[in-house]
Amino acid sequence: MALVMTNSLEMLEIMFGIIKAGACMVPISGLLTPAQLATMIADSGAKAVFASAGNRVMIEAAGLPASIRRIAVGFASDGWEAGDAKLAAAPEIDPGVRSRPKDRFNIIYSSGTTGLPKGIVQSHGARAHFAWSNALELGMSRDSVALVTTALYSNGTMFMVLPPLLLGATVVIMEQFSAAGALALIEQHKVTHAFMVPTQCIVTLDDPALGAHDLSSLECLLSAGSSLRPDTREAIIARMTPHIYELYGFSEGFATMRKPGDVPAQPGAVGRPVLGFDLRIVGDDDRECARGDVGEIVGTGLGAMAGYHSRPDLDAAILWHDHSGAAFLRSGDLGYVDEEGYLHIVDRKKDMILSGGFNIFPADLEAVIGEHPDVQDVTVIGIPHPKWGETPMALVIPRGTPDPAALLDWANTRLARTQRLAGLELRTEFPRNALGKVLKRQLRAAWWDEAR
């Protein structure tokens, strides 16, 4: 059963009602086009779709088959079943369904940063491990209060849903994020655990309301989706909470975590594998790399996905096997493990820029440009070049109104000759997925489509 809903208590109630009934839930973004929505619902095999009022028009435009039930939540309209009445009339009884560890819990569609979204199937067993392991890693208890600031259809949001509900703790849900709203809720409900992507952290740090609220109840601020810049991390510790947890992972089922007590000798570490997970670094020859050598990050663990929905071809492509035959999932990210066992992210494998035979990692350039006080956020992409094949271009969301030419000169004086930017443009925003990851593929398209 699919859900195309905005954050609400009703959405959470329906999600767990679907699970309790023994069905598989399919939460879907309301930011899709009607055609994309129709494709996902058809791919998932959903027999019904629950919708909030704001998504009614899009769902009707998707032209779903008449066999798919359309259930309205919070509104009434012709051709829709009255979901509110069904919820009110539903008996509070145990349906008597007993799910097994290998049964499907949900299908989560990937962010689509590398192409068409894929349906990631997660089992009851994997989700149970996710809930227990993260409750332990994040120090949750029955007295915890978790704040949901991101969309409930997103896999990352589950860090503030499944672990606390497993323990019988409290979950506070924001219908839509605002920095001022989040700060007020933390103080009002004495929130102990919150999840924010780096973009939300930056916006919150810049909000005038930050100094007006008591955040002392926070025992854990979990950040994921992309790496925190060092200056952002330092500002969070100084102005919000010292209890900052950083998570690296991918929806298919692998994660590392850096906790407040972790003090790696090398800067930039994203932590060690969470409970029940293991990782390897493999080279282009598919052989395991030595400590300190850069390669693709592969991971495995009890919380790993069961596979991609109806895509055995993708299942085969994502797997890497070690010498004993154990299966690991390919992340598509480049990184290395230092001598202390901490993972370091170098860059997204497909985002690496190959310019004149040199490998350029956008993250290295972004770290330098991000040090400028007039830069709020930055992303670097590869654009076509007639001589070098491709060359780096910086896109910057500024603080204030800096001169792009001066900012470009400032950056290039600090970059190696092989890293220098071909250009720099100012933007007001970047296209992002639900967890704040910049959709670089969309940004690159403007240049590469023109070159073709």
Beta-bridge mates of residue 299: 279, 329
* Domain-located, residue 370: yes
- Number of domains into which the chain is organized: 2
Domain, as residue range, for 12: 1-98
CATH code where residue 71 lies:
3.40.50.980
Long-range pairs for 414-418: beta carbons < 8 A, 24 or more residues apart: 414/368, 415/365, 415/368, 418/355, 418/356, 418/358, 418/360
Residues 274 and 88: their CA atoms lie apart, in Å, by 40
pTM of the model: 0.83
* Domain-located, residue 211: no
Last residue of a domain, one of 70, 98, 126: 98
C-alpha closest to that of 188 among 168, 208, 170? 170
pLDDT value of position 355: 87
CATH code where residue 393 lies:
3.30.300.30
* Domain-located, residue 259: no
Last residue of a domain, one of 98, 122, 154: 98
CA within 13 Å, CB half, 261: 4
* Domain-located, residue 405: yes
pLDDT value of position 115: 47
* Domain-located, residue 273: no
* Domain-located, residue 191: no
If you search the block for the tokens 């930039």, which residue do you land on? 268
User: Taking a C-beta distance cutoff of 8 angstroms, is the pair 133, 179 a contact?
Assistant: no
pLDDT value of position 275: 95
* Domain-located, residue 68: yes
The pLDDT profile of the chain, 452 residues, written as one tens digit per residue, is 999 999 999 999 999 999 999 999 999 999 888 988 998 999 999 999 999 999 999 999 999 999 999 999 999 999 999 999 988 888 888 888 999 999 999 999 875 444 466 899 999 999 999 999 999 999 999 999 999 999 999 999 999 999 999 999 999 999 999 999 999 999 999 999 999 988 899 899 999 999 999 999 999 999 987 778 888 899 999 999 999 999 998 889 889 999 998 988 888 899 999 999 999 999 999 999 999 999 999 999 999 999 999 999 899 999 999 999 999 999 989 999 999 999 998 877 888 898 877 788 898 899 899 999 999 999 999 999 877 889 999 999 999 899 999 999 999 999 988 899 999 999 999 998 877 889 998 999 889 877 65
* Domain-located, residue 16: yes
Last residue of a domain, one of 98, 116, 143: 98
